[in-house]
Amino acid sequence: MQAECLHWSSKCACIASVRPKGQAIRAIREARGMSIRALQSETGLNRGYLSRLERGLVREPGEQQVRRVATALRVPVDVITEETP
């Protein structure tokens, strides 16, 4: 998936493929004491989708979905994504 930069920086001019880091999403969510149901409520995303995202089963999420998760977890998008070759 070719996507616009998700680094939340006006100085970043990269265009890269990104993939969510499911383990990071789960670790941050759990560290914040947030259940997957609470994340669902915050993001408006389906609980099953969020579970698959955390388990690394969603390879090419939409940019908007990634932003929703990052916003709900209160982290920059690049904390929960990684660039792929």
CA distances to 14, 35, 38, 72, 84 from 53, rounded to whole Å, are: 24, 14, 15, 14, 16
Gap between the Cα atoms of 55 and 20, Å rounded: 10
pLDDT, tens digit, for every residue of 21-63?
999 999 999 999 999 999 999 999 999 999 999 999 987 888 8
| Mean pLDDT computed over every residue of the chain | 84
What is the reported pTM? 0.77
Gap between the Cα atoms of 24 and 55, Å rounded: 10
Report the topology of domain 3-84: 434 Repressor (Amino-terminal Domain) (1.10.260)
Gap between the Cα atoms of 41 and 23, Å rounded: 20
Q: Which two tokens stand for residue 56?
A: 């690394």
